[in-house]
Structure 1
Amino acid sequence: MRNILNNERGFTLIEMMIVLLVISVLLIITIPNVAKHSKNINNKGCSAFVKMVEAQVQAYEIDHNKKPVSIDELKRANYIKQTTCSDGRKLSIGTDGEVKIND
């Protein structure tokens, strides 16, 4: 029984270095892949924001019996909090009430 308790060992330096090497290789592989897809992620986020603003245009139209003239009118009426996508592109409302992204 006493022999079992004294036989406890930790990780060696070589084992720790191998684990760090594996983690480093995984990070080197994944970080560029995420950075490459960030533009696609921003585009999807912006298109989702446009859909939300379109829903707010409809809510404004129901409440006021008219379409908003501009995106700023929606903001002043507290239907939306911002008029730009997360990547900085501005939104606008066309004459037909359609929300557009200004590139």
Structure 2
Amino acid sequence: MKDQKGFTLIEMLVVLLVITILLLITIPNVTKHNSRIQKKGCEGLVNMVQAQVTAYKIDNNKTPKMDDLLNAGYLKGEQAPVCPNGNSIIIGADGEVTASGEGQ
């Protein structure tokens, strides 16, 4: 029986203990930073839409509305983009892009 290869029960328990400890450390950190991650995602989306507004202004010499960007193919999809935290993207009359509910 000494030639048999495999893991002992103690080795398996030690591995499970290490994995459990790593999960206990990792999960609270991810959930704690979830709102910050969503805020950064929304900021990135606002910056991307602002860049498309600028490109539309250069190409067409006018400030677009969200429908103009969607119809002209500057934004993908059939609906206005929405932030990961649920905020809507709004284009102001001056072409400034913001997210509704910013700062909440």
User: Aligning the two structures, in what range does the TM-score lie when normalised by the shorter sequence?
Assistant: 0.7 to 0.9
Match of 1:78 among 73, 79, 82: 73
Give the match's secondary structure for 2:89: strand
Deviation at 1:10, TM superposition (A): 2.6
Question: What is the match of residue 97 of structure 2?
Answer: 99
1:60 aligns with 2:56: yes
Partner of 2:19: 23
Backbone CA RMSD of aligned residues: 1.5
Q: CA deviation at 1:8?
A: 5.6
Q: Distance in 1 between matches of 2:54 and 2:31?
A: 36
- CA distance in 1 between partners of 2:62 and 2:30 (Å): 43
Identity over aligned pairs, percent: 54
TM-score under structure 1 normalisation? Answer: 0.84
Structure exhibiting the larger radius of gyration computed from Cα positions: 1
Q: SS at the partner of 2:24? A: helix
**Please, which runs of 5 or more residues in structure 2 have no aligned partner?**
none
**Structure 1 counterpart SS, 2:98:** strand
Q: Distance in 1 between matches of 2:70 and 2:86?
A: 16
Corresponding residue pairs, total: 97
